[in-house]
Structure 1
């Protein structure tokens, strides 16, 4: 009989703040007008090369995922770090072609033992190198009570992922098991991810559920003043618009400098969180209809190049919409399209590393749900679009008044925790 593994990735994103005024908003200034200062990222955490290799694999996978999910339309938000971690735990029990496909899809390059060891080390750095930021990452296994799991599999996940085995009764009490797992997810995400497992997703054939939950909340290094938030036009396209709450930050008065880059097609702004451990990066196309072109160029190599090319600049102001939304996905078809269809094939999947081959196991579902909120004080997700500047005698402005892409990342390792886009901040 063919039994199921349900793989679940739960995530919560962070609250984002930023603001700016909209003087001379219709003027667009070329890059050579920016006043720039040398700015290079250092490596305060002294990250080992193996950890960077794990982070790079996660980030390559993040961009691959975005390339598939962008077709869903509307606002988009997900945690590649959460999804990659949950799949990495599952990979630990995969064998043969199933393992090979998963390894290639997840962009893993390290040998298996080093992969799991360094994934654990990277997570430890992320959750400890956080200053005043709230970052919690939790993993758990939910297995059929009395089932014969391979002890080496359980030991690996307990040691490197701190994922204990919780016994539940899928066979006789599937609904109770579903509610237990959903409650755990809700608790780990501070109540932001509710009912991750929908009714019917767990049944008597389920044998194992793997969960990962991530919660991030941080204040901006420079908060936006709520008194400066105004109702402004956000152009969802060149022909349609909505009225959104736009946060504003005047940078001229205090002569503040920000990390910025523009090549004429895309402008990138860094909004750091407290202590500069984490940052949000906003990728804004040059015009309201420029999102598809930006998304087509959204490779990890390009993201890295844009961020490496950033320099300290004087801007007149920043304007960013407030937003809050939830994204929810079943990733079966997405992951199959990225190169791991065998894991979902009940006749071909090989997860004998989990149960010793006593019965056929396959992944029935990979479920991911993410919530994001951005306001004047901090972040749980955000993105930006539009470069509009004042006069030629003053520094430019960064006005996010059309669709944009954003990421939230750990600066020392470069790990992308969250990734998304905003097409309509009012939705």
Structure 2
């Protein structure tokens, strides 16, 4: 069965790909946040959450995410990877003990009490401060002004941070300006990097090339997927249709003469509409049954807020993501021929676990200069 993070990566890319320009999101962060909400859901509301996550039942969902979390606790030397969860609940609201136990014991969720009714602005600042601390100040405002109010009853937040050195570093002295061709036919000048030692694997498929770039220790990998000229939309559709695992598993031993631009991508993505398009509807409506969360009053999810940051340079990658669910009332080898792969046009990237291939960050670089 598809890992819940893979299922969500495919579904969200399918819904978000129509957005123009650069894109980044963390299916892992969103999956963890929705999995926590699932523990407060009952009946059809829970079934919809499980379906969007591609999970057969809550126990399998928890197990799959726990297995991945255990692998991520030891990402390797020269790699920092941290994840944290928090529940910010309304003062005076009684939350069901099984719900709190599932979050604290299963997801390590810290529980905080705030007073949205008295001062939603102060509550917002506290949530943003916690998120900023967890993401090394890369995500400083996951909850925008106006997102909380007196009807807010809780906010569930997942925060993810990565700083990883390449296993095969790029040499800054080999970086040189080159053209990057945009979708509209124009070109921009970007610093194009070359690794000191050539990548040793290349994947090929219908309309695309894929190059895995391991981070130090080999537990995590960034795979860049370069569509053939004129086939980007087709390749993104293939990913959304479930083709990502095959792309990540495809590389064969081949020396690659790689050119890769530096880039920094930041995306703020409210996910309510995208998730509704994937079939998650009841949880956002008056029909939501979150009675396993609280029985003090009927509650529903008001918004799923998400932001991701990914920066790539010669040394490695720094990336961060946060998801907030707002709930309201109601070595050197001999030289061989190398396959050239020049990422001089829009391409996809996936930061993923090397063994499970579960994606932590997914995105598209349409213009490295923006």
If the length of structure 2 is used for normalisation, what is the TM-score? 0.92
| Counterpart Cα distance in 1 of 2:157 and 2:241 | 26
Q: Does the Cα contact within 8 Å between 1:233 and 1:244 map onto a contact in 2?
A: yes
Matches within 5 A, 1:235-246: 235-237=181-183, 239-246=185-192
Pick from 307, 315, 334: which aligns with 2:248?
Answer: 307
Residue in structure 2 matched with residue 270 of structure 1 by the alignment: 212
5+ long unaligned stretches in structure 2: 320-335
Residue in structure 1 matched with residue 313 of structure 2 by the alignment: 375
Q: Does the Cα contact within 8 Å between 1:140 and 1:166 map onto a contact in 2?
A: yes
Residue in structure 2 matched with residue 259 of structure 1 by the alignment: 201
Matches within 5 A, 1:131-170: 131-170=77-116
Q: Which moved more, 1:170-179 or 1:112-121?
A: 112-121
| Counterpart Cα distance in 2 of 1:261 and 1:242 | 27
| Counterpart Cα distance in 1 of 2:169 and 2:25 | 24
**2:346 aligned with 1:407, yes or no?**
no
**2:25 aligned with 1:82, yes or no?**
no
| Counterpart Cα distance in 1 of 2:351 and 2:71 | 16
> How far 1:300 sits from its partner (Å)?
6.6
**2:6 aligned with 1:59, yes or no?**
yes
| Counterpart Cα distance in 2 of 1:127 and 1:364 | 32
Q: Does the Cα contact within 8 Å between 1:234 and 1:244 map onto a contact in 2?
A: yes
5+ long unaligned stretches in structure 1: 1-52, 382-392
Q: Does the Cα contact within 8 Å between 1:409 and 1:418 map onto a contact in 2?
A: yes
> How far 1:360 sits from its partner (Å)?
1.1
> How far 1:121 sits from its partner (Å)?
3.6
| Counterpart Cα distance in 2 of 1:283 and 1:205 | 44
**Closer, same or farther in 2 for the Cα pair 1:250/1:118, shift >3 Å?**
closer
Moved over 6 A (4+): none
| Counterpart Cα distance in 2 of 1:149 and 1:58 | 27
Residue in structure 2 matched with residue 101 of structure 1 by the alignment: 48
Q: Does the Cα contact within 8 Å between 2:10 and 2:244 map onto a contact in 1?
A: no
Aligned length: 354
> How far 1:304 sits from its partner (Å)?
2.3
> How far 1:96 sits from its partner (Å)?
1.5
| Counterpart Cα distance in 2 of 1:239 and 1:369 | 29
**Closer, same or farther in 2 for the Cα pair 1:85/1:71, shift >3 Å?**
same
| Structure of larger gyration radius | 1
**Closer, same or farther in 2 for the Cα pair 1:73/1:212, shift >3 Å?**
same
Q: Residues 379-423 of structure 1, C-alpha deviation per residue, up to 9 Å, x if partnerless?
A: 136xxxxxxxxxxx9432111100001100011222110100001
Pick from 338, 360, 365: which aligns with 2:278?
Answer: 338
Q: Does the Cα contact within 8 Å between 2:11 and 2:278 map onto a contact in 1?
A: yes
Q: Does the Cα contact within 8 Å between 1:344 and 1:363 map onto a contact in 2?
A: yes
Question: How large is the RMSD of aligned CA atoms in angstroms?
Answer: 1.7
Residue in structure 2 matched with residue 14 of structure 1 by the alignment: none
Residue in structure 2 matched with residue 364 of structure 1 by the alignment: 302
Residue in structure 2 matched with residue 351 of structure 1 by the alignment: 290
> How far 1:97 sits from its partner (Å)?
1.4
| Counterpart Cα distance in 2 of 1:139 and 1:402 | 37
Q: Does the Cα contact within 8 Å between 2:75 and 2:81 map onto a contact in 1?
A: no
| Counterpart Cα distance in 2 of 1:314 and 1:308 | 17
Find the residue that maps to 1:249 and give its secondary structure: coil
**2:363 aligned with 1:425, yes or no?**
no
Structure scoring higher RCO (CA < 8 A, sep ≥ 6) equals 1
Residue in structure 2 matched with residue 221 of structure 1 by the alignment: 167
> How far 1:114 sits from its partner (Å)?
4.1
**2:271 aligned with 1:325, yes or no?**
no
Find the residue that maps to 1:284 and give its secondary structure: strand
**Closer, same or farther in 2 for the Cα pair 1:423/1:257, shift >3 Å?**
closer
> How far 1:112 sits from its partner (Å)?
1.8
Q: Does the Cα contact within 8 Å between 1:257 and 1:312 map onto a contact in 2?
A: no
Q: Does the Cα contact within 8 Å between 1:277 and 1:410 map onto a contact in 2?
A: yes
| Counterpart Cα distance in 1 of 2:353 and 2:265 | 22
If the length of structure 1 is used for normalisation, what is the TM-score? 0.80
> How far 1:166 sits from its partner (Å)?
0.3
